[in-house]
Every structure is written in structure tokens, then in C-alpha cells.
Structure 1
Amino acid sequence: MADGVEEQLIAMRGFLDGEVAQRRLDRLASHFSEENILKEEQLSREVCAKLIRRSVNSSVLASLMAGCYPADREKIFNFFINRPDLETPVEIAKTEHRELVYMQLTALVNEGGVNAMKYLMEDPARYFTIMEAVGFIDVSLGIKFGVQFSLWGGSVVNLGTQKHRDKYLEGISNLKYPGCFAMTELHHGSNVQGIQTTATFDRMTDEFVINTPNEGATKWWIGNAAVHGKIASVFARLQLPSPDSHLDTDMGVHAFIVPLRSMEDHSVLPGIEIRDCGYKVGLNGVDNGALRFHNVRIPRDNLLNRFGDVSRDGEYSSTLPTINKRFAATLGELVGGRVGLAYGSVGVLKAACTIAIRYSLIRQQFGPPNKEEISILDYQSQQQKLMPMLSSAYAFNFATEYLVERYAEMKRTHDDDIVADVHALSAGLKAYITSYTAKSLNTCRESCGGHGYAAVNRFGSLRNDHDIFQTFEGDNTVLLQQVAGDLLKQYKRKFEGGALSVTWTYLRDSMTTYLSQTNPVVTHREGYSHLRDPRFQLDAFQYRTARLLHTAALRLRKHSKRLGSFGAWNRCLNHLLTLAESHIESVILAKFTEAIERCEDRNTRKVLNMLRDLYALDRIWKDIGTYRNQDYIAPNKAKAIHRLVEYLSFELKGVAGSLVDGFGIPDVLLRAPIGLQSGQYTEYSHHIGFE
């Protein structure tokens, strides 16, 4: 008999019980034509768990999860392990935290030999590996790193031309030019096209004049601005004086390099006001500031002119014919920030899972009468809080690796279809992963009871530092709308005979499946092997997405006649957000399955399959009402899915410690006493002064 069939039957023995269990086991046995296998296999759940535990190799998992550049990751970890003076203490004031983070960044570049801009330009996968690693040191450091290189450096590289790279790139790389990315304004964040800062060209002096025309145009939440930044990429409306009118011609949003402080004495330059945004809920190691400009003059060459330029005589030129196309091209080049946030959010989730699961394994509470207490992870309620979260961390890891691959391909080819694909995919993954991680951090804290509330155990700082991930680089609700909008474009393409983007090709078959009658045999099928079949799982995810897409298109068409396009969109907004989330879940599941297929270690592949099954079935169960309402899943099948989610959570509990070890986070960097691999209580006691 094939190993896979044997394993399924062994597991089923623990999963089902009673007369119903025996009938189902008999039916499954006859299906595989192995009637005697059940008599030969009399293994309990405990024996099953031991078999699974023996199949887990933490070092293989760690190698798999470390990505393409494990040596770089290890180099960052070792650098900070050997520099305890750079460790962020539990209690630290805002001013000291900012200076410490700047010291960490400076040491990383000047002593650690990290050339972030080189990696960002030549090998994004390497860059994002390092960015995730520094996030384990301090989330504020990860964000400071991203502001300097992804945002400030990325704007110069991606929106400028060779003259800008020649002038600024080396100084950005070695921190001679610490910089800012000044896009967000007090009145405009996600709606970048609505920003009001102006850059008016002065023909007489061959300069742009930067102005903040009103209070609402104040640049706000600008990282690096309050203390360390010397230069900024300022996004403003390019205004060209019209010879035929007293009104200027608005050429849309462009980016300009604007010096903020003196290179010699760091004093604020004339015409520039800088204010400190003050204490935040989290990330107080990042110096966010507010900026106003009063007739600040910059050379014409300071226009980042890749997509639009102004000549000496004030003539505007661009290879792109409209303001909207230039704006889309500009934003398309800035998706690296979203990629970094999605990638970094997975790192935060890994850290939180590691702390919560390790503590849940050692903390004992209650138990059977007159017997020893049991670990809190032995309780079903704790398993179902933490095991789906653990499976999600693995799923997100592989999805963001795929995102980085697509981003690197986009930077290499500049293919328009790939640019559009990465724009939507980065928006969706950033929104979905950061929202999930934010909720999970609360769950982890609660799962660790009172000790989860201690600052030293880091849930508070991780939660507070990560919370803004849901907002910057695009509010999550806005980003999901972008995903929904792109799906509707793909839907239209399908019916017009056009080609679908790579990430959306499944819609071609899924729409056909949705529009046909659901097979009543499949809707009732509840066998263990069927529910754990990745094809069934992906079909279910994609069916839901296809149905939501089809019904969204119909609803929008119906409401547009009466409410107009904006009114119809607003009327269907919750539906559209659900559609976007459903699609992203489908992409994550598909990439998880592909990653498992690439895994060469047979035993590791078995455990990854269990994680994938839990990720998929838990999400199907959480949206079981949708499937039931459409008769896609019959009641008996729904109950079987729920039981299987509980069963997989139970089985994975037995290997949870090895699975979080697979994240490869050193204890000295995790820093939470209750999350250490050993000696948790001793370390925790030492922290408050006991010998």
C-alpha cells in the first residue's frame, strides 16, 4: 500500500470514533481495496503524534524558511548578538530610542558592511531578507531601514534618472544623506492625487519654488524628518506658468529632491519648518515629523524626471501622454514599500507565534482529578487559537517569497502586465497579512495570560509597533479596493477574450465551474483524503472568489444605473472587500502548495502538508455560511471539516515546538523570557531581580 494511504488510515483511527467512525473507516478501507489494513493498525492518537514528531527536522525547516539568503540573515543576527550595546532595552524614552535606532542603523551599514541600495537595485530578494532580519532586532530599526533605503533611496533610483543616481546614490548607501519620503499630507494620505503642496517653475531663475499653500498641505508623519533627515523626496503638484493666462498649468504629482538641513551643522534651512509629531502608539524609535515649505527654491535638476521633465524654457515633456498614466507609472515604481511591509509583518507574526507557543508548551494549568497538571497547549481551545496562526505564518512566508520574486521580475523586465500584477498583489498581500498579524498579536497576548502583559515578554511592543503597518504605505481598506478593482478589470478581459494576468488565470476555469451546476456527490463527500486533497481546497477557495466576482459585477451594473459609478461602488463596498480578501487567500494557498511540492525532504513535506491543510480548512470553516448558502458544502461535509480542523490542530500541537524552531529566531534576539527555548522561568525571574 502507498505510504500516503497508510498514513491517512492511521490518522483516521484517531480522528473518528464510535459506530459512525467504524462505518466511515470501513468505507475508506474498501475504497483503497485494503480491507485488512484497519485490523493491522491499532494506533492511538498518542502513537500518531509520536510518528509525526519523529518526522520533523527543525534544521530542514529553518533552511526552508530562511529563503534564498540564509547566510545574510545569519550575518545580521550574529552582528547584533556580538553587539549587546545595541540591544533595545524594555524601558526606553522616545529621544533615547531614536538615537539608539540611528546608532543601530549606522553600525549595520558602517561596521556590518550592509550595502542596502546595491541589494535593492540588483537583488531584491537579498534586500528583503536583510530587512526582515533587522526587524527582529527592533521593529523601529526595520522601519528606519525601509525609510532610508526603500522609500528615500527607492524614490531617487526609481523616479529619477542617471544624474540623480550619480549624485545621491553613494550618500544614501553610506548614510551621508539620511533622507525622508515626504508624500503624506495632513488632509491627504491614501489619495495621493489629492495632495496640495506645489512646485512652481520659475523661468527667470531656472528653479522650482516649493510651497505649502494651506494647513491641510502640511507634510505629516514623515519618517526621519523630526531629527535625522537632511534631504527629502517631496511629492508636489508641478505648476507651469502659462503664457496665455495668469493661472498656472497643473501637470500633476511629481517628486522633487528638497534639502531640509545643512550638511555642515545640521541646522534647518531657510523657508522650511519642521515639527516633531511626538509620541506615537508604537515605533517611537522612528522620528516622524511634519514639514512646511515657504518659497523654498531648488534647482530644476532636482525634479525626479523619469516620467516627466521640464526644459530650461519651461516646456514639459513626457513619454506618457496623460496625468493619470504618469501618476500610475510613478506609484507603480513605489510598490517596494508595500512588499517590505508584507514581508516584515510575517516576521512579526513568526516572533509572536514563537513566544506564545513556547510558553503554552511549558505553562501547566489544571488537569484531571488527582493527576498532574497539563500544559495549556493540551487544551483544545488553546490549540485552536494558536495552531491556525502557526499554519498561517508558514503560508504567508511562502506567499511573500513569491511576491518578492514577482517584484524582482518586474524590476528586471519593466513589463506592463507584470507591473500591474505586482501592484495589485502587493496591495492585497500587504493588506491581508498585516490585518491578520495585528489580530494575531492580541490573540497571542491573551493566550499567555498575565505574563503576556509583561512588557519584557514583548507582545505589547510588537503589537504597538506593528499596528501602523495596517495604515502606512496605503490604508488596508483602500488597498483591498484596488485589488477588487483589478479583479473586475480581469473579469471584463475574460469576457472580451483578452489575456489574464498570471495571478488571475484561475478565474478562467473557476468562472465556468461557478456558472455550472454544483455536483451533488462532491458537495456531500466528507472523506479524510478528499478534505485533505489540495485540489479540493483550492477549488473551494477559487469557487468562492469566482462567485463573489460574478455577483459583484452584476450588483455594480445594477446600482450604477441609479447611483452612478461612485455610488454603486460605495453601495457594494463590503462585498468588494470580501472579494479581495477571498482572492488573496486563494493566492496564498496556491503558493503554499507550490512551495510544498518543491520541498525535497519527504518527512518535512508531510508536516508542511498538515500545516497547509489546516490553513485551508480553517478558512473554509470560518466562512462555512457562504459555502452552505450556495450548497457547495453539505451539512455533513461541513461537520467533517470542523472535526478535521480540530484534529489537525491537535496533531500539530505535538510538533509545534519544532515548527516555531523552524523560524530560526535566536533566543537573544527574541528577548522574551517566556519565549526562550529553555530556562524560561529562570530568565523571567532574573529579569525582576531574583538570583
Structure 2
Amino acid sequence: MENPKTSPTADHESHCALRRIQKLSLHLLQPLPNLDPESSGDDNQIIPSPCVGGRGRPPLSVSRTELVEYMKGRHREIQERIFNFFASRPELQTPVEISTADHRELCMRQLIALVREAGIRPFRYAIEDPSVYFAIVEAAGSIDISLGIKLGVQYSLWGGSVINLGTKKHREKYFEGIDNIDYPGCFAMTELNHGSNVQGLQTTATFDPLTDEFVINTPNDGAIKWWIGNAAVHGKFATVFAKLILPLQGKGGKSVDMGVHAFIVPIRDMETHATLPMVEIHDCGHKVGLNGVDNGALRFQSVRIPRDNLLNRFGDVSRDGKYTSSLPTINKRFAATLGELVGGRVGLAYSSVGVLKVSVSIAVRYSLLRQQFGPPKQPEVSILDYQSQQHKLMPMLASTYAFHFASLYLIDKYSEMKKSHDDDIVSDVHALSAGLKAYVTSYTAKSISVCRESCGGHGYAAVNRFGILRNDHDIFQTFEGDNTVLLQQVAGDLLKQYKSKFQGGTLTVTWNYLRESMASYISQPNPVTTRWQSEDHLRDPNFQLDAFRYRTSRLLQSVVLRLRKHTKTLGAFGAWNRCLNHLLTLAESHVESVILAKFIEAVQKCPDKTTGNVLKLVCDLYALDRIWNDIGTYRNVDYVAPNKAKAIHKLVEYLSFQVKGVAKELVDAFDLPEIVIRAPIGMASEAYSQYTEYVGF
């Protein structure tokens, strides 16, 4: 008979007992040493949690000065002028509690003061140097998001439509009045029944050759212009998008619809500010947020305007009613018209990053300040020392950095487009602006709520800003293109590029990775690399970028096959709808690939080694956290083996712990002044003191 003390069964039970003890040790403050001498190299070996000391490396350090210098935009000086101006004018600062009517009037006073007293002229920059213009919009939105949006309505939408869709005569007539706000205006595109489907607009502009005028008409209640910024109170003009109707130009003397065009329509008297005859204006009322912007509804009852009020860059009507255009079809004219308005999406993507910076700064600073619980009979610890809080906030902080560099790239491309008008760059900017606007605004909207929750009860106080930021930012997901619609545009562009690739065509810069290595991405993964799990490998930017691009290419390849299959039975529209969720995932995957590529470039270009090391850490966290969040996709196609997936998860937790060590410096590098942060719990110092003073102690 075998001795039970030395039997295989006994050894196994002893081995299992040691394993259970080892796993339980994770719940203690000081993990036990490795109790199983045979477990070296075992995938199930327990690694001490990052919250109890990480991997024994010294904490990272970074120079705040160097980091601020690398992060600050090229136009920080003009932003500081704006911050200092409003800091010196407390009567122009938006209080926490304010009525809708008062907020609207304050917002208009803020805009007029910015232009006429501070001497900031956004319109000139919007035309001459868009990068400066977007810096101004971001700074104004940091003072009050309503101010940033109202500025955008005046200069990017109303002013931009006049300059970009009109010709020399329009610029000469309207530029100065728009610039100095003598001509406050609106952008009247959206209707009650039509928003994203602009080609479906029902408002009409019928040419009358007897009087040389266009007659603007709202044919039914569904065609009422709705949600029009500046319309309810302040606007005197509107750029109205309507179907251009030419009578007697069709077969048999019928009228011809030439498609959607833009027209300048006066809506209020220049002297008395009274609503003009045959124009009906109503107030859309109190909104969830952005109540400093006066959104209204417009109905036109055969309103007559001069023929010259047609913004005629892409299509014109002569005195005798003949239509001419340099573009041959309605669809091409429509695409050119909307293409000139892409700047609004660029501005929203950039401004959304600014809102995310504010939210993350408040949440991180409070999490470093707030202490709660801790080891028995020892001081309480910061709530950012808890792994759960790191999991919430550190990947978000990393994403904020990623979006920062991606949005700067977008602005550079947009500025290049405005100067060169190169077709490839135009195509790039359309795709980039649609994708980044959709992706960043959706991420920011969700993140603000996470930041609020991370700050507990104090995050619920209005003075600490999360509620205001969340409500004001929420509509960013809808205007200038609904995010779901914009992602479909990105997916559609990807499909066009895929088709071009396999028909011998060229690919524009945004999609060039498909040209370079599509074949390798859709082939069988290398069985060796799927198992590599060393930290050096996982933190290699080549691995990270390959993983992102592999996912995009697989999604693209598979959706092409699905669309072909379903088109045979459902038709093109039915097939698209059947694959819609797949297409949206494809678009988001592509956008993430672009963001990561720009972040990696920014890390590699950093001139200071120490700063570069910290940025590399943040970039690694962004990349690996995204891979882990979609680990099911990588596992399903055997791109990542089980052991590698575990290694990625552990490394994400460790990198979050490391980033926590420099979190203060990372948010300080956003260089946001107190007038931007404003939340007492988010101040760089004396937060509790300011908070208690606010409530009267």
C-alpha cells in the first residue's frame, strides 16, 4: 500500500491547497511570495496587483514645463487673451443658476464684447487661417459652451455659408457686417421633418422671371425650419436651404427642380428688429442644454428676395431664368455644397476634446484629493489609489491625449484643404471630420457621466460642472450630422476605397494602410505572434497599430461579403440595413486606427526624452485598453491566443497604475486656467476651501 503522505493524490491536493492560498493572498496588502516552485512560466501564475506596488520599478517623473510646452497649441497666445479678458470681466461670466432669457442675452453680450472690446475677430481667421479660428472657438466654448456655439453659428454657419457658397458680390456686401456682428444671422437647413436627409428638404425657392426674384415658401408644416440657432431672438438674416424651382423650364412647360441651393433671406428689420412681413418666427423653448443659444423655428409664406440673394458658387440663374453650373448633376452640386460646410464638424470634434479635458481634469484632481478608507489603523488613501478608480479614469485620460493629437491633425488637414482645394485632401478631410466628430463626441458624452460618478456626491453639485458640461455637450452628437449617419459615411468611403483597391485605383492618405498591407491583414494570423506576450512586444507600436488595422481590414472584408450576399435578395438598401451594425463597427475601428497612428507619431516626434517616455506610456495604455475592450473580436479570429489576452489585460491594469503616478502632471499639462475649470473640486489647490466658501462657510 502507498504511503498517503507521498501518494500522487496527496501531492496533487497539497499543490491545489498552495494554489488556493496563493490566490487568496491577492486580497492581502502584502502578497505572499510564490508558493509553488513548479509554477514558473505557468500562465495562471499570480502577479501582484499594480495597486500594491506594481512591478518594482521606480515611479515615472515628468517635467510639467516640458509637457505643457509640447501639448500647447500653436495659437495659445490668442486663447490666453480670451481667458484673461473674461477673467477681468466678472459681469460677463456665466453664473451657475441663470434663466433661459437671461442666458441668451448674456451670451450675446459675451460675443459682442469678445469681438468689439477684446478685439478678437473670428471671421477673418475662419477665412484666412482656420487653425486660429478653431483655437478661438475652443477658448470661447471653455468660457461657456453656449458662447462657443453661438460664435460658430455666426461665423462658421451663417458667415461660412455666405463666403463659401457665395461669390465676390456676396463677400463685398456682407463680410463686414457679419464680422462686426451688425448682421447677426442664422443657418436655416434643418426642417421639422428632415434633418440628416438634406436632399429631402421641402422648402422651395421658385424663380419669378417677371420680378427677377425668388419666392421662398414653406409648403407644409413639416417643412418649417426647426432648431435654427440665433433665430428666436437675435438673427436678422438666414441662409435658407431650399429646392430651387425653375418654372416653364421642363418638358411641356413644367417646372424643374434643380435641387437644394442656399439663399440669403432677411428675417428681421435692420432698424426696429421687428419680424419682417410673411416671415413667421417662433421660439423652440427651453432645451436640455445650451440655453444661451436662441433656437427658433421659421416659416416662410411666399417671401420674395432678389435674385442676387442666391448663393451662386455652384449654380446660378440668369435674368431670363436660365440655370448654369460648372457641375453637371444635382448630386455633384449637392456634394460640393455640403462639402464646403465641413468646417462645422471639424470645430465640433476639436471643441469636444476641450470639454473632455475639463471633465477629466476635474475628476482626476478630485480623485487625488479625496481620501477614503485604507489599511487598518493607517491613514486613508486617495481614491485614485484604488484600482477601480484607475480603471475608470486612466484610460479616459489616455484617450484625451490621443484625441488631442488626432484633432490637431484634423485641423492641419482642413487648413491645407482650404488652401489647396486638392481633391484627395478634400476626400480625406470629409472622411476624417465625419469619423472624428462622431467618435470623439460619443466618447466624450459617455465620459462626462463616468467622471461625475467618479466624484461621488460632490460631482452632483451643479457648481462642480459635470451636469452643465454633460447637458451642453450632449447635442454635439446630433448637430452638424447625426453620429450614426456620419459613421455610415465613413463606412461608405471605406467600401469605395476597397473597391478602388481591387480595381487598380489609388487610395487617399486616410486609407493608405489598406493599400500597403490589406493582403496580410486578411490572411491567417501568424501562429507564433498570436502567442507572444512579453511586455516589450505588447508595447511595440508596430504590434498595436497592426492589431488595430487587422481588425479594420477583417471587418471590411467580411462586410463586403455580407453586402454582396444580401443585395441579391434584399436589394442595396435592404442589404445595407441588414449589415448596419457591422458597418458602424467598421467605421469606429477605422477611426481608432487613425487616432492611434497620430498618437504614435506625436510620441515619436517629442523632442524631450523624459516627456516622450511618459507620452509613450499613455499611448500604450490607449492602444492596449482599446484592444482589450474588443478582445472578443481578436479571440474569435485567433489573432490573440488566450495567454496573450490575459497578458494584455494584466498590462492594461499595470499601465493604468503607472499613469496614475503622473496623472496630476498629465492634467496640469492641459494648462487650463481657473476660469475654464471653475469647479471647486477640480482646482489645482485648496479645492475644499473654495468649495466650502462657495456654499457660505
Normalised by the length of structure 1, the TM-score is 0.93
Please say if 1:135 is aligned against 2:141.
Answer: yes
CA contact (8 A) 2:522 2:553 kept: no
Determine helix, strand or coil for the equivalent of 1:282.
coil
CA drift at 1:16: 13
The residue identity in structure 1 corresponding to 2:269 is S
Corresponding residue of 2:260: 253
**1:138-160 Cα deviation digits (max 9, x unpaired):** 00011001111111111011100
Partner of residue 374, structure 1: 381
Pick which of 115-124 and 159-168 moved more: 115-124
Asked whether the 8 Å contact 2:522–2:557 carries over to 1, the reply is: no
Task: State whether structure 2 residue 150 is matched by structure 1 residue 144.
Answer: yes
Q: What whole-Å deviation, never above 9, does each CA across 1:209-236 have from its counterpart, x for those lacking one?
A: 0000000000000000000111010000
User: 1:235-314 counterparts in 2 under 5 A?
Assistant: 235-243=241-249, 245=252, 247-314=254-321
Match in the other structure for 2:69: 63
1:417 CA drift (Å): 1.9
Partner deviation per Cα, 1:323-378 (whole Å, 9 max, x = no partner): 00000000110000000000000000000000000000010111111111111100
Which shows bigger deviation, 63-72 or 284-293? Answer: 63-72
Report how far residue 80 of structure 1 moved.
1.1
Deviation at 1:311, TM superposition (A): 0.2
Is the Cα contact below 8 Å between 1:510 and 1:546 reproduced in 2?
no
Q: For residues 354 and 602 of structure 1, do their structure 2 counterparts lie closer, same or farther at Cα, with a shift above 3 Å needed? A: same
Call closer, same or farther: CA 1:234–1:46 in 2, change over 3 Å: same
RMSD: 1.8
Give SS of 1:478's match.
helix
Given candidates 491, 494, 518, the residue that maps to 1:487 is 494
Q: What is the distance in 1 between the residues matched to 2:290 and 2:31?
A: 45
- Structure 1 residue 509 corresponds to structure 2 residue 520: no
2:215 and 2:303 in contact (8 A); partners too = yes
CA distance in 2, matches of 1:333, 1:661: 37
Give the 3-state SS of the residue equivalent to 2:262 in structure 1. Answer: strand
**Equivalent of 1:110 in 96, 106, 116:** 116
**Which structure 1 residue ranges, 4+ long, deviate > 3 Å from structure 2?**
14-25, 43-50, 243-247
C-alpha distance in structure 1 between counterparts of 2:524 and 2:56, whole Å: 43
* C-alpha separation in 2, matches of 1:242 and 1:654: 74
Offset, 1:517: 2.1
Q: Is the 8 A contact 2:680 2:688 kept in 1?
A: yes
Match of 2:470 in 1: 463
> Is the Cα–Cα contact under 8 Å of residues 183 and 234 in structure 1 kept in the other structure?
yes
- Displacement of 1:49: 5.1
Q: Say whether the 8 Å CA contact 1:523–1:631 is kept in structure 2.
A: yes
Cα distance per residue 1:615-657 (max 9 Å; x no partner): 0000000000000000000001000000010001001111111
SS of residue in 2 equivalent to 1:512: helix
The CA distance in 1 between the partners of 2:323 and 2:32, in whole Å, is: 73
- Matched residue, 2:82: 76
| 1:552-631 matched pairs, under 5 angstroms | 552-631=559-638
Corresponding residue of 1:645: 652
Given candidates 450, 457, 462, the residue that maps to 2:457 is 450
Q: Distance in 2 between matches of 1:395 and 1:554?
A: 32
Q: Displacement of 1:59 after TM fit? A: 2.4
Question: In structure 1, how many angstroms separate the alpha carbons of the residues matched to 2:623 and 2:84?
Answer: 36
Partners of 1:145 and 1:278 in 2: CA distance: 20
Cα distance in structure 1, aligned partners of 2:37 and 2:504: 50
C-alpha contact (below 8 Å) 1:66/1:73 kept by paired residues: no
Structure 1 residue 44, shift from structure 2 partner: 6.0
1:513 shift after superposition: 1.1
After superposition, the Cα gap between the structure-2 partners of 1:132 and 1:22, relative to the gap in structure 1 and judged at 3 Å, is: farther
Partner residue, 2:159: 153
Distance in 1 separating the partners of 2:488 and 2:468:
30
Structure 2, unaligned stretches of length 5 or more? 1-29, 43-51
Checking the alignment, whether the CA contact within 8 Å between 1:428 and 1:480 is kept in structure 2 is: yes
In the other structure, the counterpart of 2:173 is 167
Match of 1:534 among 534, 541, 544: 541
Q: 1:410: Cα distance to partner?
A: 1.0
**Structure 2: distance between partners of 1:471 and 1:59:** 38
Question: In 2, Cα distance between the equivalents of 1:224 and 1:161?
Answer: 24
Separation in structure 1 between the aligned mates of residue 430 and residue 659 of structure 2, nearest angstrom: 35
Say if 1:15 and 1:644, in contact at 8 Å, map to a contact too: no
- Aligned residue runs from structure 1 range 424-439, under 5 A: 424-439=431-446
Match of 1:352 among 359, 364, 369: 359
Residues 17 and 612 of structure 1, relative CA distance in 2, 3 Å threshold: farther
Question: In structure 1, what is the Cα distance between the partners aligned to 2:580 and 2:676?
Answer: 42
Aligned counterpart, 1:338: 345
**For 2:189 and 2:201, how far apart are their aligned partners in 1?**
8
Letter aligned with residue 77 of structure 1: F
Distance 2:232 2:509 in 1: 42
**How many angstroms does 1:23 deviate by?**
5.5
User: What amino acid maps onto 2:612 in structure 1?
Assistant: R
Question: Residues of 1 paired with 2:331 and 2:352: CA distance?
Answer: 31
Distance 2:192 2:473 in 1: 22
Gap change, CA 1:371 and 1:195, over 3 Å in 2: same
Q: 1:315 aligns with which of 304, 319, 322?
A: 322
Is residue 207 from structure 1 mapped to residue 221 from structure 2 by the alignment? Answer: no
- Of 347, 365, 372 in structure 2, the residue corresponding to residue 365 of structure 1 is 372
Q: Measured at CA, do residues 106 and 677 of structure 1 come closer, stay the same or move farther in structure 2, by a change above 3 Å?
A: same
1:610/1:118 CA distance change after superposition, 3 Å:
same
1:677 alignment partner AA = A
Q: Give the drift of 1:469.
A: 0.3
1:119 equivalent to 2:125? Answer: yes
Residues 28-77 of structure 1, C-alpha deviations (whole Å, 9 max, x = no match): xxxxxxxxxxxxxxx96497453x12xx1222222222211111111111
**Conserved in 1, the CA contact under 8 Å of 2:54 and 2:654?**
no
Is the 1:152–1:232 Cα contact (8 Å) retained in structure 2?
A: yes
- Listed as ranges, the gaps of 5+ residues in structure 1 are 1-13, 26-42
Kindly provide the amino acid, as one letter, of the partner of residue 84 in structure 2. N
1:9 matched residue in structure 2: none
8 Å contact from structure 2 (residues 83, 675) kept in 1? no
Separation in 2 of the partners of 1:235 and 1:62?
44
Residue 255 of structure 1 aligns to a residue whose secondary structure is: strand
Per the TM alignment, residue 386 of structure 1 is displaced from its structure 2 partner at its CA by 0.2
Change (3 A) 1:148 1:552: same
- In structure 2, the residue corresponding to 1:505 is in which secondary structure? helix
Change (3 A) 1:643 1:262: same
Structure number with bigger Rg:
2
Q: Is the CA contact 1:211–1:293 (under 8 Å) kept in the aligned structure 2?
A: yes
Secondary structure of the 1:520 match is coil
Deviation of 1:114 (Å): 1.1
* Letter paired with 1:263: M
Secondary structure of the equivalent of 2:557? helix
CA deviation vs aligned residue, 1:461-498 (integer Å, no higher than 9, x gap): 00000000000000000000000000000000000111
Q: Number of matched residues?
A: 657
**Structure 2 length-normalised TM:** 0.92
- Give a deviation string over 1:84-123, Cα, whole Å, max 9, x none: 1111000000000011111111111001111111111111
Secondary structure in structure 2 of the residue aligned to 1:647: helix
SS in 1 for 2:326: coil
Deviation at 1:15, TM superposition (A): 13
User: What one-letter code is carried by the residue in structure 2 that aligns with 1:156?
Assistant: V
Is 2:404 the partner of 1:397? yes
Q: Which residue of 395, 409, 420 corresponds with 2:427?
A: 420
With 249-258 and 504-513 compared, the bigger mean Cα shift is at: 504-513
CA distance change for structure 1 residues 17 and 324 in 2, over 3 Å: closer, same or farther? farther
Change (3 A) 1:539 1:267: same
CA distance in 2 between counterparts of 1:600 and 1:238 reads: 55
The residue identity in structure 2 corresponding to 1:312 is R
Contact 1:203–1:314 (Cα < 8 Å) also in 2: yes
Q: 1:606 to 1:17 in 2, by over 3 A?
A: farther
The CA deviation at 1:21 is 12
